[in-house]
Amino acid sequence: MNLTVNGTTHDVESGPLATLLDVLREELGVTSPKAGCEQGGCGACTVLVDGEPQRSCLTPVGALDGASVTTVEGLGAPESLSPLQQAFTHHYAAQCGFCTSGMMIAAEAYLKRGGTDDREAIQEALAGHVCRCTGYVKIIDAVAAVARGDSFDLTVTAPSPGMTNLGGVS
Amino acid sequence: MAVHKGRGIAAIEYPTGMNQNGDPSQAWIKVKPDGRIDVFAGTSDIGNGSKTIQSQIVAETIGVPYDWITYDNSNTDSSPVCTGTFASRATFVAGKAVEKAAERVKERILDIAGKELEIDPSDLEIVDGEVLAKGAPQKKIAVPDVAAAATWTYGELITGTGAQLKDFASIVDPETGEVDSPPHSAISYAACAAEVEVDDETGVVRVTRLVQVYDVGRAINPTLVEGQIEGGAVQGLGLGVLENCYPYYPSAEHRGGQFGSYLAPGFEDLPQIDTIIIENPSADGPYGAKGIGEMANNAQPPAIASAVYDAVGVWVTELPITPERVLRALEAKAEPTRNGKTFVFDAELSVNAVAQGGIAFEVPA
Amino acid sequence: MKAVGARLPRYDGIGHVTGRTTYVDDVRVSGMLWAKALRSPLHSATITSFDTSKAEAMPGVHAVITHADVPLLEYGHLSALGIPADEPLLAKDEVRYKGQPIAVVAAEDEETAMAAVEAIDIELEERTPLFDIRRAFDADAPKVHQWGNWYTHFEGEMDRRQIRKGSVEDAFDKADTIVQGVYRPAAIEHVPLETQVALVVPEASGRLTIYSCTQALYFSMGVVAAHLQVPLNKLKVVGGTVGGGFGGKVDTASETMCALLAQKSGRPVKWRWTREEEFLCSSTRAPWHMEIADAVTKDGWILGRKMLTLHDSGAYGRFSPYGLTKHSFHHTGAYTIPNLEFDGYVVFTNRVPTTAMRGFGVTSVSFATETHMSRIADVLGLDPYEVRLKNANRIGDTSPNRIVYTDPSTVSVVKALAGGMDVELQPEYAAMSRDPREGDLLPEHLVGQMANPEDH
């Protein structure tokens, strides 16, 4: 079977029951989707399959013949970061970074289907993606900023619109 | 059948550095022939941003742009010892080591610049990557040119090392716990107010708002401090109302082995988070910094417990404050036992109720 | 200041958002073997028979390690702090917690490794486990640990951590009211998004390269070196980029096990824990049991505190004595309480050993003492801000272990919180500061604990 990943088509050697996650990470060397739980519970393995976010840890690759997969590597590169990648950088939406790939894929899908900067709508779209480091506030800030069409100064990070600074250091 | 609102507060403190000290961190820095700065330190970045903070400290101390710094903490061959990223020590203890190494490097740069400019190094300063004569900034030499001179004129590797180690604070009297010196590098303080909504029919506690105050001494990077505050707030919320390895503690049965059965906080649990960051500088920390990483999840659980009492009149002192515990408490409507001037709460939880004589908690009458 | 105080971007941020940050599980080496562990299915049992030969003979299996393969089986991670070793890297004659590793297999792939684990023959004789720390001291309690059911080596030979200051008898006698309560925060899991993982590569030089998710490169290197009985330069620990730790990636044992497997097989060995292992078998935050009795005056002074803490250490000591010591030093929280009687025990139970987690030792004491503080305010009918402000640490006050506070911020943070909550404090309280106590803020019961200015 063949699979297109971030624009490159591959002949998949793994058997049909191999998970898309294992095919991406072990066979094709695309390591941004992470094995966070392999139970479908954390979202760290999420990739776009024909534009839709899917848990690659639960997807048997045999079901995907001819499909087109997008991972974070396909969103943009350091020299040409996508708006979402810029937003995650500027809004400090990644701390340890382990959940970030899956989180960004879900956010990308939300934005592509016309998602707005409404914080509740963003929370609902990303629910099911677990982050242990950030407390979620700045992730929502970043996605909302892209929805608004903000441009981003990457030499600095922003105070958090989703958190009220009541005083002291600003 | 109603949702009740409540509010509770907590004020806490937390030590920076391993308890009783004796936890070294070391760093060494070398300057490339074009003036770029390589930092080698052994501090693991667990997401807290220690690579960032330590790079900022080096950039500030030497006087060069942040993006001139490369930071390598990747292995034990090139990096010297750092006890580790815990005990909220990455900014203070490990940061102090890189600060000291950076000061040594700065001295060397000023010394060589002084030779090149024929000015006493003590009359020079480094600003934005240029060595300037204080008061006469037209006399200057760029740090890259100093580095080139070191490499090709003076035959010197511009380098500096730093080590931070606070003496072990011994317990001088094990009966009293008295120590011979402060068993920490600094103490940070914080306060939290929690606002909750408690449904008296389902017992569900919804934390709607957390107001948090942190005295971090010096916010080396305010965005990273916010990241700790927000991340800590949600973990504190988890500790307070959601998470339990042993849902039937002390029984070890029925443990949750998946994300669905172990309740780690998700987007849907996020309250409004408001913060105040105060800076009461530490005496010895780099630029007055203290730690924040660990204490960030300590103040929420008691604030939430007090808020639940404010909302529905029951004290739940076993964490997490689950719907089941709230409903049982509402049903029991327990009042403290009165014993003269003593109010005894939670008697059924005490060792006095459970132990079979092995241990007791006796209060002076 | 240009860099300090600036909202600069994360040093490694670009890698995170482009999927390029390399975590241990992203490292690729050829010839890598997968590790899986045989773990105890029971909470407490003796191992009556144990045979790995079928697993070793299985095609695709390159090495199996048991306790017999470990040069130094028990190494105390904090032995430098006087905490003796008590825990075997791999179980020998008994198992003391469900999930305890007994053997680890390295095989060509994950499935073969799992099949090999199933092929290990083991017989266990179940024993009655102990789970309730309050019952651990009873004469008929099952015995969990070779030291008994609680740690007996504080300062060498004490079976508890003690703090004594002033006279709690006097304080309780003088008190208008005594408020007593019990606080029991739970064990929780660290839940880093990256599960425990280690990859060890045997190099041509004879060294071992250890790719680790540890929070502490040198700490973990020391542990591996001690178990393997090798000098530090035989090992190279590679890491520094961790997918979340929160205290759970300090007492890692996976590096050592992979190192032994790599040495035995001559191949690189990776062990990546499943999320289920992470939830069920990895060390947790400790459950704590704290009882507090505070002697208070009707106007809200805390004259004295008596406290009993039981710390549920699980089956082995790990860092618990350190955590309890830190807990004892901070059992007065952000306040100055002059008369103290604190006793704390590290108690063993048949559950997964507990370890450090964010706030280690102090998270528990903050929960107990702050909830208790709010209770006191409620019982006395006093304002919760005011009660905290008057008892707050001030310059010149001394801590439970007799350290002088030189720059406490209790007053700052409480006043700032009031401001943030739009709570207007009474003028007397709004005017408070960290300045040394005097006048109304220096009642008789606090005089004795003040540091003598000449001494400091």
Question: Would an 8 Å CB–CB cutoff place A163 in contact with chain B?
Answer: yes
Q: Is the pTM of this model over 0.95?
A: yes
Question: Would an 8 Å CB–CB cutoff place B171 in contact with chain C?
Answer: yes
Q: What is the pLDDT of residues C410-449, one digit of tens each?
A: 999 999 999 999 999 999 999 999 999 999 999 999 999 9
- Its sign, for the CA torsion C390, C392, C396, C398, is positive
- CA–CA dist B198, C199 (Å, integer): 47
Q: Exposure pattern of C432-442 as b/e (b: 16+ CB <10 Å)?
A: bebeebeeebe
Domains of chain A in start order, with CATH, are 2-74 (3.10.20.30), 83-148 (1.10.150.120)
Domain C161-187+284-455 of CATH type 3.30.365.10: yes
Residue of C nearest to B41 (CA): C240
- CA–CA dist B93, B86 (Å, integer): 11
pLDDT for res B175:
95
User: B touches which chains (3+ CB pairs under 8 A)?
Assistant: A, C
Q: What is the pLDDT of residues C122-180, one digit of tens each?
A: 999 999 999 999 999 999 999 999 999 999 999 989 999 999 999 999 999 999 999 99
Determine whether the interchain pair C140/B356 forms a contact, defined as Cβ–Cβ distance below 8 Å. yes
Minimal Cβ distance to C419: which of A97, A101, A167: A167
- CA–CA dist C172, C36 (Å, integer): 57
Per-domain residue ranges of chain C: 23-125+190-281, 161-187+284-455
Question: Would an 8 Å CB–CB cutoff place B281 in contact with chain A?
Answer: no
Determine whether the interchain pair B356/C139 forms a contact, defined as Cβ–Cβ distance below 8 Å. yes
- Its sign, for the CA torsion B100, B105, B109, B111, is positive
Determine whether the interchain pair B190/C413 forms a contact, defined as Cβ–Cβ distance below 8 Å. yes
Determine whether the interchain pair C98/B252 forms a contact, defined as Cβ–Cβ distance below 8 Å. yes
The shortest C-alpha distance from B102 to chain C (Å) reads 14
Determine whether the interchain pair A35/C14 forms a contact, defined as Cβ–Cβ distance below 8 Å. no
Contacts of B85 in chain A (CB under 8 A): none
Measured between alpha carbons, how far is residue C435 from residues C62, C127, C202, C339, C451 in Å? 68, 58, 60, 22, 13
Minimal Cβ distance to C9: which of A133, A155, A166: A155
Contacts of C247 in chain A (CB under 8 A): none
Note whether A115 and A122 are within 8 A (CB). yes
Q: Give the architecture-level CATH label for domain B20-164.
A: 2-Layer Sandwich (3.30)
Q: How many residues are listed for chain C in this entry?
A: 456
Residue C454 has pLDDT above 70, yes or no: no
Question: Would an 8 Å CB–CB cutoff place A44 in contact with chain B?
Answer: no
Least confident of A97-101, B53-57, C79-83, C451-455: C451-455
Determine whether the interchain pair B273/A134 forms a contact, defined as Cβ–Cβ distance below 8 Å. no
Measured between alpha carbons, how far is residue B340 from residues B337, C181, C306 in Å? 10, 16, 18
Contacts of C18 in chain A (CB under 8 A): 32, 72-73, 75-78, 81, 85
Determine whether the interchain pair A135/B230 forms a contact, defined as Cβ–Cβ distance below 8 Å. yes
Distance, CA of C341 to chain centre: 24
> Residue B74: which of C218, C239, C242 has the closest Cα?
C239
The shortest C-alpha distance from A160 to chain B (Å) reads 8
Cβ-proximal residues to C236 (8 Å cutoff; 6+ apart), any chain: B75, B76, B77, C207, C208, C209, C210
Residue C38 has pLDDT above 50, yes or no: yes
The shortest C-alpha distance from A27 to chain C (Å) reads 11
Note whether B132 and B124 are within 8 A (CB). yes
Measured between alpha carbons, how far is residue C314 from residues B258, C44, C73, C401, C427 in Å? 21, 12, 19, 27, 49
Minimal Cβ distance to C236: which of B76, B276, B317: B76
pLDDT for res C16:
97
Chain B, 65 to 94: residues with Cβ < 8 Å from chain C are: 65-66, 69, 71, 73-77, 79, 81-87
Angle, helix C362-380 to helix C384-391, in steps of 10 degrees: 120
ipTM, interface predicted TM-score of the complex: 0.97
Contacts of A168 in chain B (CB under 8 A): 213, 275-279
Question: Would an 8 Å CB–CB cutoff place B280 in contact with chain A?
Answer: no
Q: What is the CATH number of domain C23-125+190-281?
A: 3.90.1170.50
Residue C243 has pLDDT above 90, yes or no: yes
Residue of C nearest to A167 (CA): C420
Determine whether the interchain pair C191/A76 forms a contact, defined as Cβ–Cβ distance below 8 Å. no
Residue C455 has pLDDT above 60, yes or no: no
Contacts of A41 in chain B (CB under 8 A): 258-260
Determine whether the interchain pair A135/B234 forms a contact, defined as Cβ–Cβ distance below 8 Å. yes
Give the mean model confidence (pLDDT) for residues C18-31: 97
Minimal Cβ distance to B306: which of C242, C279, C374: C374
Contacts of C5 in chain B (CB under 8 A): 218-222, 287
Per-domain residue ranges of chain B: 3-15+184-328, 20-164, 335-365
CA angle (A116, A121, A126) in 5-degree steps: 110
Sheet of C208-212, strand order? C61-65, C101-107, C33-39, C269-272, C197-202, C208-212, C235-238
| A161 confidence band (pLDDT: 50, 70, 90) | confident
Angle, helix B323-332 to helix B300-312, in steps of 10 degrees: 40
Give the mean model confidence (pLDDT) for residues C90-109: 98
Determine whether the interchain pair A34/C243 forms a contact, defined as Cβ–Cβ distance below 8 Å. yes
Determine whether the interchain pair B349/C184 forms a contact, defined as Cβ–Cβ distance below 8 Å. yes
- CA–CA dist C374, C383 (Å, integer): 9
The shortest C-alpha distance from C197 to chain A (Å) reads 11
Residue C55 has pLDDT above 70, yes or no: yes
Determine whether the interchain pair B250/C349 forms a contact, defined as Cβ–Cβ distance below 8 Å. yes
Task: List, in sequence order, the alpha helices (H) in C400-441.
Answer: 410-420, 427-430
Mean pLDDT (chain C) is 96
Residue of C nearest to B308 (CA): C371
> Residue C190: which of B12, B231, A93, A31 has the closest Cα?
B231
Contacts of C369 in chain B (CB under 8 A): 302
Determine whether the interchain pair C3/B274 forms a contact, defined as Cβ–Cβ distance below 8 Å. no
| A150 confidence band (pLDDT: 50, 70, 90) | very high
Determine whether the interchain pair A73/C194 forms a contact, defined as Cβ–Cβ distance below 8 Å. no
| C456 confidence band (pLDDT: 50, 70, 90) | very low
Note whether A53 and A127 are within 8 A (CB). no
Distance, CA of B274 to chain centre: 18
Residues of chain B with pLDDT under 70: none
Minimal Cβ distance to B318: which of C184, C245, C400: C184
Give the mean model confidence (pLDDT) for residues A134-145: 98
The shortest C-alpha distance from B22 to chain A (Å) reads 28
- CA–CA dist C87, C90 (Å, integer): 8
Contacts of B182 in chain C (CB under 8 A): 403
Minimal Cβ distance to C193: which of A90, A99, A154: A99
Chain B, 343 to 362: residues with Cβ < 8 Å from chain C are: 343-347, 349-351, 354-359, 361
Which H helix or E strand runs over B326?
A: helix B323-332
DSSP A44-64: TTEEEETTEEEEGGG-BGGGG
Residue of C nearest to B51 (CA): C11
User: C touches which chains (3+ CB pairs under 8 A)?
Assistant: A, B
Disruptive mutation site among B185, B245, B325, B348 for chain C (greatest number of C CBs within 10 Å): B245
Minimal Cβ distance to A169: which of B219, B232, B258: B219
Note whether A160 and A138 are within 8 A (CB). yes
Determine whether the interchain pair B258/A39 forms a contact, defined as Cβ–Cβ distance below 8 Å. yes
Class of domain B3-15+184-328: alpha beta
Disruptive mutation site among B223, B267, B276 for chain A (greatest number of A CBs within 10 Å): B267
